[in-house]
Amino acid sequence: MEIVQAALQEVGRRWERNEVSVAQEHLATAITQRVLAQASLRASYLPANGRRALLACVQGNRHSVGLRIVADTLEIGGWEACFLGADVPNADLLAFASMRRPHLIALSLSLPEQLAPTRDAIRDLRDTLGDDCPPIWVGGLVTLRSDQLWRKLGADGWAVDALGRLAPG
C-alpha cells in the first residue's frame, strides 16, 4: 500500500511539472489497479464479521484508487465492502444507502470543489436515514489539508490512509 501510494504521488508531482503525459498517468493508474487486484487475491482475510461498508467517491471525484485501497483493507479485516467507485451522484448515493442499510459509509474526496457536495451528501444521508444513519467517515487528498476539516463536513470520522482505524467494530 505504501509503495502504491508513493508511486502515484510521484506520478502526480511529475505530471504537475509536465514530465508525465495524460497517457502515462492513465497507464500508471491501470498498472496500480492490476497490482491491487493481484494483491487482494493473495491476501489472508479475517473471517466475515457480518458488517457492511458502503464506499463511494463523492459527486465530481474521479480519484477512485485510494478508496479502492480502503475497500480492500476493510474486506481483509472481515467486512463486506460495497465499492461504488468514482463520481457517485448524491441522489444515487442516498437511494443506494437507503436500500442497502450499511453499518459504515466511507466517502472519498480529492479536490476543494468537492467539499460542498460532500457536506450536502452527509447532511442528506443524516436527514433521510435518521437514527439508522451509520457512522460516516471521510478521507482523500483535500482532507489532508487540516486535521479538523472532517468535522466541518459533518462526518463522524476521518483517516489519513486506509490503515487508519475505521469506526467501531
Chain positions contacting ligand B12, by CB under 6 A:
5, 8-9, 11-12, 15-16, 25, 29, 60-67, 69-70, 106-108, 110-111, 137-141, 159, 161-162, 164
Give min distance, CB of 67 to ligand B12, in A.
Answer: 5
| Smallest separation, CB 155 to ligand B12 (Å) | 8
The minimum distance between CB 54 and ligand B12, in angstroms, equals 11
Looking at the Cβ atoms of 61 and 90, the one nearer to ligand B12 is 61
Quick one: 25 or 124, whose CB is closer to ligand B12? Answer: 25
Which has the closest alpha carbon to 119: 155, 165, 65, 156? Answer: 155
Min dist. Cβ of residue 88 to ligand B12 (A) = 12
Looking at the Cβ atoms of 62 and 101, the one nearer to ligand B12 is: 62
Torsion angle defined by CA atoms of residues 67, 68, 69 and 70, in that order, rounded to the nearest 10 degrees:
50
Tell me how many degrees the CA angle 65-102-128 measures, rounded to the nearest 5. Answer: 105
Measured from the CB atom, is 91 or 163 closer to ligand B12?
A: 163
Residue 12: CB atoms within 10 A of its CB come to 14
Going by C-beta distance under 8 Å and a sequence separation of 6 or more, which residues neighbour residue 57?
63, 64, 67, 84, 85, 86, 87, 88, 107, 108, 109, 110, 140
Q: How far apart are CA 81 and CA 84, in angstroms?
A: 9
> Shortest approach of ligand B12 to residue 114 CB, angstroms?
7
Nearer to ligand B12, 29 or 124 (CB): 29
